[in-house]
Structure 1
Amino acid sequence: MSFGVALIGTGFIGPIHLEALRRAGQQVVGILGSSPARSQSAAEKYGIPRGYASLDELLYDPRVQAVHVTSPNRYHAEQTAAALRAGKHVLCEKPLAMTSQESADLVKLAAETGLHAGVCYNVRFYPLCHEARARVLAGEAGKLLHVTGSYVQDWLLHETDFNWRVLASEGGPLRAIADIGTHWLDLIQFIMAEEVTSVCADLQTVHPIRKRPRGMTSVETFQADRATPVHDEEVSIDTEDAGNILLQFASGAKGNLHVSQTTAGRKNCIRYELAGRSESLAWNSERPNELWIGQRDRASELLVRDPALLSPLARGIAAYPGGHNEGFSDSFKQLFRSFYGSLDKPATSAAQPYPTLAEGHREILLCEAILRSHASRGWVEV
């Protein structure tokens, strides 16, 4: 079934939502940017029927049945709440909110409205990540012992790399962990089917001072054009560039996560290796169509994504035959297919095929525990 969808946000992630929505069979009827001019420009550029002048104009549009929030972090809670109050289903980019009080209020509001509302943790929608979950749920991995992994990038390596995300006032007090680390944390809790219960974190700010381009408040996320003006405005940075986190899971399994946005040569690399008593599972987003299955008493295996060889759980989000690779943009498409395929069912069920606001709230609680742990230099309960 096709629904009328409006997008909020015209930056890096907004057009990715647009493309995936169209591939998922949904109709994008309008877009809202940071100004009426940007809204209209984006509408013309992407062939969208309407560029809205304001959030109210978007919410009063009768064609809009669902809203995708892809604006900067500080607007997420406010815009998600407004859409829910207007009777619209919502899919919000992470983080869901700036504080756990805001995210808790959103969970309550969504329950009161009876509308579907989710958070865009797309990484779990790579088919082989669903396959890893299926193997864990089926007991094939055995009792889970420990997990290690990382999410590393290099787009903020230089002191002249500047974006709104580096400022706590714009993106929140956690940056690298909240921006990309939460994707890994959501993914691994999804695969293990259990929650992180305590953390011990050590965070690192590589550049306490960054240099902003003269006359610019920000640079687009992952901007390809590096020819920028003179960087001569020094700005104090109050967020982390990297971090290391020890993890304790509900079952007693242990874990550790390394996050960095200052690792040269790594553009967008997510990795995990999960050890169970029977087998290990390892995956790397730079080779997303392969799942390594480690064995002790026989040869280890490399499972290459092929719907004919996958579990029913993973087969349901694998669109192409074996040998036809699926990647980053496909993970959004599959998330959106799962979300919009649920809109004709009750939203009250705790078990949904997409990341719910409750899961987004849990990630905010994790981030706040990580901050407290770093400040206290010790273990903190989530």
Structure 2
Amino acid sequence: MYRSSVAIAGSGFMGSTHLEALRRLGITVAGVVCSSPEKAQQTASDFGVPNAYGSYEDMLADSAVGAVHICVPNNLHYTMAKQALLAGKHVMCEKPLAMDSRETEDLVWVAEQSGLAAGVCYNLRYYPLNFEARHLAGGGQLGRLFHVNGCYIQDWLQLETDFNWRVDSGKGGALRAVADIGTHWMDMVQMITGQKIHRVFADLATVHESRSHAGSAMPVDTEDCASILFRMDGGLAGSFFVSQVASGRKNTIRYEISGEKGAIAWDSERPEELWRGYRGRTNETMVKDPSLLSAGAMRHTSYPGGHMEGYPDTFKHCFHDFYSYIEAGNFTSPPPFPTFPDGHRELQLCEAILKSHRQQSWVEVG
């Protein structure tokens, strides 16, 4: 596994999650950088890492650091990712890759010129049974694919008093629920089907026009939920729903893909089960067991059947692909992890979805 050290920018939920996954892989974390030197000192102490960098520039100047994980608010992604690449560091950036497609297009070019590994943390594709679903859908076992539908729903912003920096379009971007969680769903189904979404029709809704924050009412101009129709370049029709105000749903991801020979469905609340539907015989539920999985799914499975793999394991498998690719050293080979071009495409999708909502019409992606 990767022999150089890694540094993490950011101390929140994502920063600690990345740290845990890296340690499980045996990768050395050299230190952290935060919004202030004092916060970095406290985070380094809490995380048990040796260095608290006084600034991002100090971190990039550390020759022992070969890769950077960017886990900060969205509006900082572009500048920090570009600086890291220009400093000769591999980059794993949290999603979305940047605030708009002009920034992501530039990052794709910088990454290509750098000859470095550049990944976007669409980790949720890394549940093992998603790779089994890809084997079934992409391998012809479902026949010609007809349609796909699903959702990604949460309730953590349901109340008018719920607040997070993502609500602020200046920090999170013009889209919130779609960019924050909807892009995970779109990445997942595009990876599984092998088809790209190329047309969208979207309807967005903001439940709370203002939210209580720091003793005052803050106007909200980002969506709480969205309904999206789409078409994929292979002819597949689709739809999905995104919400951060869905009562009782903490982090529910679902998809169902139907084809001429059968269907498959998966639900993150039952991540070890893949449903298979048939017209002329009894339906089946496949339970994750590496001895029964395809080679691609088995490669992303760490534990035997009956031993659940969940959310933290998706980061581990994503980073394993990233750092194994770096160690292999052949940067002309296709990367097995979500890349900057994938992140660019997701921003193009977000912009098409926002344009579609505003025009109330179908919009071509990109």
Q: Give the TM bin, normalised by the shorter chain.
A: over 0.9
> Does residue 295 of the first structure (1) align with residue 278 of the second (2)?
yes
> Does residue 42 of the first structure (1) align with residue 43 of the second (2)?
yes
Match of 2:222 among 229, 236, 239: 239
List aligned pairs for 1:70-81, cutoff 5 A: 70-81=71-82
Q: Residue 52 of structure 2: SS of its match in structure 1?
A: coil
| TM-score scaled by length of structure 2 | 0.98
Give the structure 2 partner of residue 184 of structure 1. Answer: 185
Q: CA deviation at 1:346?
A: 2.5
1: CA distance, partners of 2:172 / 2:294: 38
1:291-318 deviation digits (Å, cap 9, x = unpaired): 0011111111111111000000000010
1:30-56 deviation digits (Å, cap 9, x = unpaired): 111111111111100010111111011
Q: CA deviation at 1:105?
A: 0.3
Q: Residue 195 of structure 2: SS of its match in structure 1?
A: coil
Q: Residue 65 of structure 1: SS of its match in structure 2?
A: strand
Q: CA deviation at 1:280?
A: 0.5
List aligned pairs for 1:102-181, cutoff 5 A: 102-181=103-182
> Does residue 280 of the first structure (1) align with residue 263 of the second (2)?
yes
2: CA distance, partners of 1:356 / 1:259: 23
Q: CA deviation at 1:254?
A: 0.5
Give the structure 2 partner of residue 347 of structure 1. Answer: 331
> Does residue 65 of the first structure (1) align with residue 49 of the second (2)?
no
Q: Residue 342 of structure 1: SS of its match in structure 2?
A: helix
> Does residue 267 of the first structure (1) align with residue 250 of the second (2)?
yes
> Does residue 337 of the first structure (1) align with residue 338 of the second (2)?
no
State whether residues 373 and 379 of structure 1, in contact with CA within 8 Å, keep that contact through their aligned partners in structure 2: yes
State whether residues 201 and 370 of structure 1, in contact with CA within 8 Å, keep that contact through their aligned partners in structure 2: yes
Match of 1:369 among 324, 346, 352: 352
1:200-252 deviation digits (Å, cap 9, x = unpaired): 000000000111133xxxxxxxxxxxxxxxxxx01100100000000100011
| TM-score scaled by length of structure 1 | 0.94
Structure 1 residue ranges, 4+ long, deviating more than 4 angstroms after superposition: none
State whether residues 131 and 314 of structure 1, in contact with CA within 8 Å, keep that contact through their aligned partners in structure 2: yes
Letter in 2 for 1:360: G
> Does residue 206 of the first structure (1) align with residue 210 of the second (2)?
no
1:244-297 deviation digits (Å, cap 9, x = unpaired): 000100011100010000011000100001111111110011111110011111
1: CA distance, partners of 2:25 / 2:349: 31
Letter in 2 for 1:304: V
Q: Residue 51 of structure 2: SS of its match in structure 1?
A: coil
Give the aligned length: 363
2: CA distance, partners of 1:209 / 1:101: 29
2: CA distance, partners of 1:273 / 1:136: 11
Give the structure 1 partner of residue 56 of structure 2. Answer: 55
Q: Residue 65 of structure 2: SS of its match in structure 1?
A: coil
Q: CA deviation at 1:371?
A: 0.5
2: CA distance, partners of 1:19 / 1:286: 22
2: CA distance, partners of 1:80 / 1:369: 24
Give the structure 2 partner of residue 251 of structure 1. Answer: 234
1:11-66 deviation digits (Å, cap 9, x = unpaired): 11110000001112211111111111111111000101111110110000111000
Letter in 2 for 1:12: F
Give the structure 2 partner of residue 304 of structure 1. Answer: 287
- Structure 2: 5+ residue runs without aligned partners? none
Letter in 1 for 2:268: S
1: CA distance, partners of 2:262 / 2:125: 20
Letter in 2 for 1:147: V
CA RMSD for the aligned pairs? Answer: 0.8
List aligned pairs for 1:6-45, cutoff 5 A: 6-45=7-46
Q: Residue 84 of structure 1: SS of its match in structure 2?
A: helix
Q: Residue 154 of structure 1: SS of its match in structure 2?
A: coil
Deviates more, 1:257-266 or 1:338-347: 338-347
> Does residue 323 of the first structure (1) align with residue 306 of the second (2)?
yes
State whether residues 111 and 348 of structure 1, in contact with CA within 8 Å, keep that contact through their aligned partners in structure 2: no
State whether residues 8 and 14 of structure 1, in contact with CA within 8 Å, keep that contact through their aligned partners in structure 2: yes
Q: Residue 156 of structure 1: SS of its match in structure 2?
A: coil
Letter in 2 for 1:88: K
Letter in 2 for 1:345: G
1: CA distance, partners of 2:207 / 2:231: 27
State whether residues 87 and 115 of structure 1, in contact with CA within 8 Å, keep that contact through their aligned partners in structure 2: yes
1: CA distance, partners of 2:260 / 2:189: 17
